[in-house]
Amino acid sequence: MAVIAVYSVKGGVGKSTLAAALAWSSASVSRRRTLLWDLDVQGAAAFLLGHDRPRGQRAASVFTRDTDPAGLVIHTRWDRLDLLPADDSLREVDTLFARLGKRRRLGKLTDALAKDYERIVLDCPPVLNELSNQVIRAADLVVVPLPPSPLSRRALEAIRDELSRNHPKHPPILPVLSMVDMRRRLHRETVDEMQGWPVVPMSTHIEQMAARREPVGAFAPSTPAAQAMARVWTGIERKLCE
Ligand SMILES: Nc1ncnc2c1ncn2[C@@H]1O[C@H](COP(=O)(O)OP(=O)(O)O)[C@@H](O)[C@H]1O
Ligand SMILES: [Mg+2]
């Protein structure tokens, strides 16, 4: 079992879109039993898989062990793809962790979920707090979407520095250039400079995920956008094997 965190300190960089698309690829392309766990109170991951956010307040209670995560899991309409949705209770999750004082509570839960899943994809909120610390301790790989810019490398280094401060032995970080528009010179130059970084194109098909509420691979599998997503996923699988 491997835990893949899609994480950045920034919002609006394509985390939830990437997390939903990658989880779908894991389940449908790699045929792995996959859980998409939405840790962001905004609930975008569930939305992108066509599910409404639960009205209850139970998402955070898995951390106090009052609720078994399996009891909150939603089976999506795609084989092997399950969803652990966010709800309003996650607003208070940071103070909850502070109160609990357990450093690996999320990691213990993902360890226990290994009996049901081969891949767990975490859609993370853009925070640097005890929740993100828990995520880093639980993750086998941290995927960081970065909009292309001459500053991409510095943005990645800033995130690496932040993680290293609290986690000297943090898991490997995989930068992914997100929302790349090859018509733009700066984007092309960034792709050239960051040789080897996976690329997600700026694409109406990817944007439409939020309107159709399905992963791009499910409704437009032969598009360059879906194929790029599949390549990002294959790169992740390769990295996990290293
Ligand atoms: N590759 C892409 N091409 C076009 N639009 C995208 C792409 N990735 C994300 N978006 C759009 O950008 C916005 C922010 O994406 P989102 O995944 O919610 O970011 P985050 O989770 O980092 O806040 C959404 O409207 C989404 O549809
Ligand atoms: Mg998000």
Q: What is the pLDDT of residue 150?
A: 87
Query: Quick one: which ligand is closest to 41's CA?
Result: 2
The total number of residues shown for the chain amounts to 242
| Residues of the chain below pLDDT 50 | none
Judged by DSSP in three states, 225 sits in helix
CATH number (1.25.40.20, 3.40.720.10, 3.90.1660.10, 3.40.50.300) of 2-241 reads 3.40.50.300
The DSSP call for residue 171 is: P
Domain boundaries, the chain: 2-241
| Residue in 132, 176, 207, 209 to alter for ligand 1 test, most ligand atoms within 8 A of Cβ | 207
Query: Kind and range of the H or E element at 179?
Result: strand 173-180
Q: With 0-12 CB in 10 A as exposed, 13-18 as middle and 19+ as buried, what is 161?
A: exposed
First to last CA, the chain: 14
| Residue in 7, 10, 16, 17 to alter for ligand 1 test, most ligand atoms within 8 A of Cβ | 17
Cβ atoms of 167 and 159 within 8 Å: the answer is: no
Q: Which atom of ligand 1 is nearest to the CA of 225?
A: 1
Q: How far does the centroid of ligand 2 lie from the alpha carbon of residue 112, in Å?
A: 25
Q: With 0-12 CB in 10 A as exposed, 13-18 as middle and 19+ as buried, what is 118?
A: middle
Q: What is the pLDDT of residue 225?
A: 98
Question: What is the rounded CA–CA span in Å between residue 68 and residue 58?
Answer: 10
Residues 6+ apart with CB under 8 A from 209: 17, 20, 21, 48, 215, 216
